[in-house]
């Protein structure tokens, strides 16, 4: 089991002044429900998980993830009763150690209370950043930016994904909603900065298959591809070639492409 509690030292006094000095205060906190999460068991009191947005009295926005008796589907981890958020906290520390950008966790706590395993994570709001899915939906409806800007966006995502893979880590749920970029919406329109950065969120399913694993392609890139079909074919192919470090499709690259798109016809 990972260490049972952590509070970012810079946020201890902020949380105390906001009325959240301990586990109980976070557990009873009220906020805006942004993700109802998952429920398992005979009723909603057996196993549950949800996410709330909370505005502190300092004006800072944080996201509170709480769960009770919510364990992975993996048999061993379920038997050990390790909460999925405890796994996310462990993964967060490993990605941070590898220098891979992620959301910032400010608080982690895990306890057994009256026979229930309770766990929570508080993360900092990604100010000035937008979910990749939201950006893609906007561009699809209003028109895509010039190629140089599109490739800059893709380059930022590419660098993020490759850095994780080179460290032997797969995100394992690489949907657009789990990638954020520093492209804010201003008056309803995305504003692309000179330098684009991106980061991961939702790390509970990250795995460590080793630096030469084909799962980087058959899982992460496959999920990313099937959630990126609104990009042009040329942009998608550019991303794939850049990932592999090639200028033209080789027989090996075509085999890897088949793992992603599931088609025997690769041109």
Predicted pLDDT of residue 264: 40
The residue written with tokens 């990009």 in the block is 231
Strands annotated E in 41-167: 47-55, 61-68, 105-113, 116-124, 130-131
pTM of the model: 0.92
Q: How many CA atoms lie within 13 A of 191 on its CB side?
A: 7
pLDDT tens by residue, the chain, 267 residues: 444 799 999 999 999 999 999 999 999 999 999 987 666 655 545 788 899 999 999 999 999 999 999 887 776 666 777 899 999 999 999 999 999 999 999 999 999 988 889 999 999 999 999 999 999 999 999 999 999 999 999 999 999 999 999 999 999 999 999 999 999 999 999 999 999 999 999 999 999 999 999 999 999 999 999 988 899 999 999 999 999 999 999 999 999 999 998 744 443
Neighbours of 221 (CB within 10 A): 25
The answer to whether the beta carbons of residues 190 and 130 sit under 8 Å apart is yes
For residue 88, what are its two tokens? 């996310």
| DSSP SS3 for 73 | coil
Neighbours of 205 (CB within 10 A): 17
Predicted pLDDT of residue 73: 72
């Amino acid at each position: 089991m990972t260490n049972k509690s952590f509070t970012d030292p810079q946020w201890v006094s902020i949380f105390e002044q906001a009325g959240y000095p301990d586990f109980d205060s976070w557990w009873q906190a009220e906020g805006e429900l942004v993700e109802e999460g998952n429920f398992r068991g005979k009723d909603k009191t057996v196993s549950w998980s949800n996410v709330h947005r909370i505005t502190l009295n300092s004006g800072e926005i944080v996201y509170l993830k709480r769960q009770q008796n919510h364990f992975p589907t993996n048999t061993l981890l379920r038997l050990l009763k390790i909460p999925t958020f405890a796994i996310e906290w462990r993964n967060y520390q490993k990605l941070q150690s590898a220098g891979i950008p992620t959301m910032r966790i400010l608080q982690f706590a895990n306890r057994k209370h009256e026979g229930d395993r309770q766990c929570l994570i508080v993360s900092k709001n990604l100010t000035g950043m937008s979910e990749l899915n939201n950006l893609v939906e906007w561009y699809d409806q209003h028109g895509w930016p010039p190629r140089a800007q599109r490739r800059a966006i893709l380059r930022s995502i590419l660098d993020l994904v490759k850095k994780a893979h080179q460290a032997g880590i797969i995100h394992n749920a690489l949907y657009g909603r789990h990638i954020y970029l520093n492209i804010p919406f201003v008056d309803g329109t995305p504003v692309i900065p000179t330098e684009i950065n991106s980061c991961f969120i939702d790390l509970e399913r990250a795995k460590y298959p080793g630096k030469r694993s084909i799962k980087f392609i058959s899982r992460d890139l496959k999920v990313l591809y099937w959630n990126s079909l609104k990009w042009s074919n040329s942009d998608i192919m550019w991303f794939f070639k850049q990932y592999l470090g090639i200028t033209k499709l080789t027989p090996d690259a075509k085999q890897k492409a088949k793992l992603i798109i599931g088609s025997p016809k690769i041109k």
